[in-house]
Structure 1
């Protein structure tokens, strides 16, 4: 998983070096799965966005998900987004 998340982060950095990356994390889902995530600030035409991209490994598969919101709204949404990501149950 660390290889996959690092490759994803490198691709994003290469696509736009102006993006600002925050702390990478590994969290545990409610079902006990390990979730690797990267957080970064990206830029659009008229405003910045806060982004979370996460990877979950299930058996031989890697599942990718994403969350984003306006950067100015990050403090309101970050905790809720992480709680939703933690609640993922894959069967």
Structure 2
């Protein structure tokens, strides 16, 4: 899958090379909305349990996302096993038992925001052709509560010993495509959907004046 995605990235880089990058759609307003975003959702209910959330700075501190406080950066050896490709995500947050993961990674693809929808559909075509899809749930373009346009791709794929629910997030920051993923066992999907939704809705650009510390994941380059 990595090779197919890289091929798609190179193709899109070539396609948009002559286009000027326009990232002013909604994103210029994001820094002004970051404080209001940060005030929302300090806990989530999963079943009968309340899960505390915590803000984490990602992508060299340029963005923030809210994740369960109990999630930690995946140890390097575990990351190499779970994501054997050299193109593993820069940031990998994982649950205590390692069955739920939230990742973020920058790509080398430069894209105008108004081209994101087409990119999402092309990425979806690649995934359908290379992944062992068990249940395709489709694509969606949204603008989250911070004003960030995000393309979503949802599907269930066959894992080593169980089916896995995957939710892919694609967004543009400073003209560059970034990718996030949420995944868990299909049997746990309903239980963890609120965390996936919180990941999408909480993602926002950090104002330039912010001095928030950031974490680089074990798979960072």
CA RMSD of aligned residues (A): 1.5
Structure 2 contact 117–141 (Cα < 8 Å) conserved: no
Following TM superposition, by how much is the alpha carbon of 1:85 offset from its aligned partner in structure 2, in angstroms? 1.6
* Structure 2 counterpart of 1:46: 161
Q: TM-score, normalised by structure 1?
A: 0.88
- 1:54-69 equivalences under 5 Å are 54-69=169-184
1:17: Cα distance to partner? 5.3
Aligned residue for 1:20? Answer: 135
Q: Which has the higher strand share?
A: 1
Matched residues, number? 91
Q: Looking at both structures, which has the greater relative contact order when contacts are Cα pairs under 8 Å and sequence separation is at least 6?
A: 2
Stretch deviating more after TM superposition (39-48 or 77-86): 77-86
The unaligned stretches of length 5 or more in structure 1 are: none
Provide the rounded CA distance (Å) in 2 between the counterparts of 1:79 and 1:23.
Answer: 18
Question: 2: CA distance between counterparts of 1:23 and 1:69?
Answer: 17
Partner of residue 7, structure 1: 122
Counterpart for residue 195 of structure 2:
80
Does structure 2 retain, via aligned residues, the 8 Å contact 1:42–1:51?
A: yes
**Aligned match of 1:89:** 204
Give 1:25 shift.
1.9
Matches of 1:88 and 1:35, distance apart in 2: 10
Instruction: List gaps (5 residues or longer) in structure 2.
Output: 1-115, 207-221
Which ranges of 4 or more aligned residues in structure 1 deviate by more than 4 Å? Answer: none
> Does the CA contact (< 8 Å) of 2:166 and 2:183 recur in 1?
yes
TM-score, length-scaled by structure 2: 0.39
Question: Could you report, residue by residue, the CA deviation over 1:26-71 in whole angstroms, capped at 9, with x for unpaired residues?
Answer: 2222320111101000001210010000111223111110000000
